[in-house]
Structure 1
């Protein structure tokens, strides 16, 4: 299915947000996620089903000041 990941179009056969993170190499990284502009907590990713056209944002924390 076609998805948007951090603004880039991708084609993936995953069904959940957690599966997408694994497939795209994020694995166990500490990241924040949102689907269609709505924050998805880490514990809810396995239950969050994706549908064609969803826009997913994955953000990693940054250090600095």
Structure 2
């Protein structure tokens, strides 16, 4: 299935959860990120259980330091 993450297209398996998607987008899971699907934040504890659908709008937000 084809998904769009932060306006970039990726190919994933038809049964892909958030954690699997993150390993495709990043070589190693970065710290300090949040995942929103269809404008709803997915808690880190749910990443392994939350399945992605082809029409989902996925945004990955990375925390930065500074003021």
Number of the residue aligned with 1:43: 45
Unmatched segments (≥5 aa) in structure 2: none
1:24 matched to 2:25 = yes
TM-score (norm 2): 0.83
Runs (4 or more) in structure 1 with deviation over 6 Å come to none
Number of the residue aligned with 1:4: 4
- Per the TM alignment, residue 10 of structure 1 is displaced from its structure 2 partner at its CA by 2.3
d(CA) in 1 for partners of 2:40, 2:6: 14
TM-score (norm 1): 0.85
1:57 matched to 2:59 = yes
Helix, strand or coil: the match of 2:22? helix
Q: Paired residues, what number?
A: 65
